[in-house]
Amino acid sequence: MDEPGEPISYSARIRALADEAPDAPLLTVGTADAAETLSRRDFDEATNRMARHLAALGAGEGDFVTVAEPNSVEFMVAAAACWKIGATPQPVSSRLPGRELDMIIELADSAVVVGVDPTDPDDSRPYVPQGHRPNDLDGGPLPDAVSPSWKAPTSGGSTGRPKLIVSGDPSVYVESALGAGIGATGDATMLIPGPLYHNGPFIWAFTTLLAGGHVVVMPRFDAEGMLALIQGQQVTSLYLVPTMMQRVWKLDDETKFSFDLSTLRRAVHLAEPCPPWLKEVWLDWIGPDVLWELYGGTEGQASTLLSGHEWLAHKGSVGRAASGEIIILDDDGKELPRGELGSVWMRPVGRDTPTYRYIGAEPERFGDWECLGDIGWMDDEGYLYLADRRSDMILVGGANIYPAEVEAAIAEHAGVQSVAVIGLPDDDKGQRVHAIVQPAAGSNAVADADSLEAELTTFLGDRLVRYKIPRTFEFVDTPLRDDAGKVRRAALRSERLDPTAT
């Protein structure tokens, strides 16, 4: 095995792990009742076979390979197989509409698409069907290879047009502070309940795997199922988003408190704002030593990492810069005093190369600073507090309203499963606050919308100033957020302004 800290390719690292402890579990995918586990040797050989398959289809060094598998062994194998031929995995949702998938494939000019059948009969590029395992190919070692970029996830952003966020880092392994901070270490059992095509689950899973830990992946998030896996697999590290935390907390007490979570050493939530009430109940449950928070973009210019103890001393904060630098600027590019609200700008430090590049978009830059569209402020100790995304802010009669604050208040109600708040046109005040609510499971609130609307209006009267309370409510029976906690407010707003737009 190479000495700790010595940089080697991901390909060589996977092979070295297999040589060191071939029978050690590396990857488990499934539920507490039914799961498939691959040892280090199994994974090395499976990725070698898939790498040979991708190469035979024409993929090679520097190419993008779109991976559209659902959470599965096949997803993990395909992504790692890319590194073994020097290609870059380009993960996307397996449930993307055909038109959006075609746009991404065209943008990436993918050498191979894994996990779907072609939607365009004139597309001559190779496609690998979902779930395919080339078990007839040789699983032996391949020549070493390094991908120029180790990942290239997609983002729609506020425009709704897809872009690729191509990492500035090659597929070269070196132990990192990030791995230790998120619990992605060689002795960890890391549970990933979120979709692997999202940046957070992708990083958490592969950082743990490359460190030599055991990665456990849920095919799809289920609140009780996650708790069962923590107990059954003796999970030490956990990826979370507040949507998951809320769904778990809304289980009945007898269910959620029946599982043994004592093996957890680090649970890190990210990806969306966490309502303070939800943070507090989780801190009481699993403890401030265990529950941490991370803030940062896929672009990787800077990030924060906040312990539970720090949050209790700085309630509402997402932490201080753990990598890179963060400042708050006004609309003219002037740095604002501590405590004043403005745009959050970031830049990397200690490196000579960019952390990323876009394909299909241009970054918002001011000198060497970049902005991802977040609004926030800093306290006197440099702790960052987020308000919301600039593009999602609602302006009502000259007052700024941040959807995340309203959503957090609505989500406290026991009858709410998920919620998205948007601004819609209003002749009097420019915009009105409109809440789209998915009632809790088992509720008939969609059919009894009037009573729930009245109940929520009264409920919010004790939590929000009057002008922030939604003037209109809409009740739906479909999820508003995906398993990574992401909500496309811009798309929801467009659908309501023009129902024929898709």
Domain harbouring 441, CATH code: 3.30.300.30
Count CB atoms within 10 A of the CB of residue 372: 20
Residue 326, in any domain of the structure? no
List the domain range (segments joined by +) for residue 410. 393-497
Is residue 308 a part of any domain in this protein?
A: no
pLDDT of 301: 96
Residue 486 lies in a domain: yes
DSSP state of 390: G
Residues 6 or more apart whose Cβ sits within 8 Å of residue 349: 323, 324, 325
Count of domains observed in the chain: 2
- Domain with residue 166: its CATH number is 3.40.50.980
| Alpha-carbon gap, residue 116 to 127, rounded angstroms | 7
pTM of the entire predicted model: 0.84
Q: Where are the beta strands (DSSP E) in 200-349?
A: 214-217, 237-240, 266-269, 291-296, 303-306, 321-323, 325-329, 342-347
Last-in-domain residue among 157, 172, 187: 172
The C-alpha atoms of residue 478 and residue 398 are separated, in whole angstroms, by 33
Q: pLDDT tens-digit profile of 110-167?
A: 999 999 887 666 678 999 999 999 999 999 999 999 999 999 999 864 445 789 999 9
Spatial CA neighbour of 204 closest among 287, 147, 267 = 267
Give domain status of residue 65, yes or no: yes
84 part of a folded domain: yes
Q: Which of 172, 197, 223 is the last residue of a domain?
A: 172
- Looking at 2-6, 80-84, 99-103, 489-493, which range is the least confident one? 2-6
Q: What's the confidence (pLDDT) of residue 156?
A: 62
For 383-425, how does the pLDDT look when each residue is reduced to its tens digit (9 = 90+)? 999 886 777 778 776 667 878 888 888 988 988 988 999 989 8
pLDDT number for residue 475: 93
Task: Say if 275 falls within a structural domain.
Answer: no
Q: Is 321 inside any structural domain?
A: no
Residue 481, domain member (yes or no): yes
**Confidence at residue 111, expressed as pLDDT on a 0 to 100 scale:** 97
H or E, element range at 330: none
Domain boundary among 146, 172, 198: 172
